[in-house]
Structure formats: C-alpha cells, structure tokens
Structure 1
C-alpha cells in the first residue's frame, strides 16, 4: 500500500486515480476541481479530498497535474519533503524549474499519461527514471525511461497526433454515414477498422509493415494515401512548430 497525492484533479488526474483503483492505496486528491474530486472520492475506494497542503503532507508520492501557469502560483506555497517522489505530468514546466518549485524533494520526474491509463495499456515515457512510477503503474502499463528531457518533450509533441487523427476518422465516419444513414454504426466501423491494425502489444516496425500490407498498387488504400500525400508535409510542419515551445531546437530529428 502506498500514500499517493494528486495536486490538480482534471481528466488526466482522474484517469490516473482510476488506474490505481482496487490496489489498497491511500489516495489524496486536491479540492481544486471540486466536482471531479467528489466523483473520485465516491467512485474509488481509498480516495479522500484534501487541501493542496494536506495532499503534500500526507503523501509519499505526489503527482503534479496542473497547468503550467497555475503551477507557478500553487507550488511555491507547498512544503515538499526531501524523502518524497514528485512526478509531474505538466507540459511547459521544465525539470530544472520543477526542482526549484519542489525543493527540497530531489526524486523528481516528468511523465506523459494518457486517458487509457485508467484501464491499463498506456505508454508512459518518463525522465529521469522513476521507481515510484514503475511501482505504481508498471504492472499494467508500459513505463520506459528516455535518454534526456529533449526526448521526453518530443513525446509530448507526438501525442498531439491524436486530435488530427481522430478528426480524420470522424470525417471518414461522417462520409460513410452519408451513404448508410447510420452515423453510430459508421463511427463504430471506422474505429474498428483502425483498431484492427494496432495490436495489443505493439513492436518496432509494426507501422511500416502495416503500411506495406496496404500498399497494393491501384488499391483503395494506396489511392487515398496518394491523394493525401501533401498532408504528410503539413503534419511534419505542425510537429516542427513545437520545437521552440518544447525545447527541441537541438538539431534535426
């Protein structure tokens, strides 16, 4: 059993709390988002609502789930301890800044949880390596340390693919429903088609192999991919647009 605290109770924090359900932990969630905190306290055994100060005082591992601008106002007033593990899920707050905000704590890491962490199967890149993160989430999720903060920040950028990809899927489902008259089934169909190419345990080279298998000359997949080829340049340009914000200007990827 562990004592775990969450500063900030948005959607990602809620997913992380749900991912710990049934494991006997003592979990403190901050009262910043009162409605979400109340739902978690009702839904997950062992969850209690507390002030930010109480969360830090009563936890051995503290997750920081705030917006960067909010963190700058909230964290300086909290009394972290040297023996605590602090794990940030915040974009735009560098490790050096976290060390200043959370002193005297020294075991400080940054990770990138996504909504699937609620049920397991979420990739969790982390820098630097975090024994606390591995202990809490490693059994059901892929936790892996990356080589440096730049590499971690690039993972933040890569997660931005989710929105445009989902928009393309929704566009396709809407197009399909225009012919079938069944929007619900069209959305389920498109989701199932894409899911079919994503195995439960992905491996390196999987994407390239799936693409080769869908490259029959004159086939529908190859034809649509050719028509959409200019979008690849737009995608790369959009990802490169994160370079300054995420501190990625250290050479070409």
Structure 2
C-alpha cells in the first residue's frame, strides 16, 4: 500500500496530539506525521519534507493564520484539509484554496478519515494523469508533466537543465531560471526521459547533457552547466560518463 505523509499545523498542542492519535489509529495509509504550531514552523517543515497532506488550523499564534502558509508555498502539490473552530473562514478557504475538506472542531473521527481518503484519492488521480501524459512505451516524450495543487504543468524536455533529487520529490531546474517541484522521485523521470540526452551523474542529479558546458577535472570531477551551475559527478559514474560521451 502506498504511504503518505501529513503535516499537522495547530497551536493547540492538545488538539494536535489528538489528531495525531486519530491518524495513527484509524488511517492505514499515513506513515510519517509532522507537527508545527506556527506559520514559520509549518513553512520550514514543508520545505524540508514536502508532506503529501496538510491539516491546517486557521487561526494561529501572534495573529497569524494558515492562509499565510499557503501563500508562502503557492506551488504546493499537497492536499489541504482545514481543521478549525471557526465557520466564518469556510467560504474564503473553499473559494481561494483547492481544499480537500473543511472540518470543524471538535473533530469527528469518521469525518477525518473521510477527508484523508478524499485527499489520498486526489493524489492518486493526479498520479494517473501524470502517468498518462508521461509514459508511452518505446517513446521518449517531448513534454514532461509535473503536477501541482490545482493543475499539471507541461515542460518541454529541451527546457530542462537538470533534475535534482529531494527525497521522494524531484526539482526541475529550467532554462528560464525557474524551478518546479514534482511529487515523484527522480528515478521515475530517469526512466521516462531519453537516455541518449539525460545522464544520471550523481544519485542527486539527472543532467541534460546538451546543457553541459564542460567537464572540469581540475578540482574534482564536476559538470559546468550553461546556466553557471556546477554539479558533482559521483566517482562511480565518472567512467560511465566518459564512455557515454565516447571519450574513453
């Protein structure tokens, strides 16, 4: 069974602990549960772990709220479930944020489980859409599909400078200087992209070789890219890369 991670954001520690207990006891598809009590903690946690589902109380300490968290991570692919004591935010949440559920405290177990199930189904549906766009047997796509919270971005493979591994996620670095985060690991894209053009120089990096300016051997082996970035070449990949380039 596919497992998913959750970030609970609530400045009421007792309620946060109760949510964690419910998730642990009544949901089978949740493995890692993270907790934050403020907007800053939540943003830092998400940017480090990229949780799949966010359980957000709305009003937080120091007159802050969870809408500020969402504004700080606008391209999140996470499913969002609001958990609050305040009915008045429902319209704002539903109209401005793609929300899997809006739950009122005190939390009812059945409602929480149903909300998690809906969020997981949304994630699965996005994955199905991405697979349909990205995978055609024997064909290497000119477009790569990258899902976000409310859309699927299509990126030309020729616009990819390199892809960086970030745990279960992959970060696409593009020729225009921007980057996009995909909720799939780098190995998935290594299988999809043309192996004649994209080479895994390191466990963390899949490089578009047409974007490589040179291979610098003077201070350890690394690739210098057209965008000025220098990426290390793992020792075990150096010989393979040279053979791949018909240098050795």
Same fold (TM over 0.5): no
**Higher helix fraction (1 or 2):** 1
Length-normalised TM-score, structure 2 = 0.27
Highest RCO, 1 vs 2 (Cα 8 Å, sep ≥ 6): 1
Q: What TM-score, normalized to structure 1?
A: 0.27
More strand by share: 2
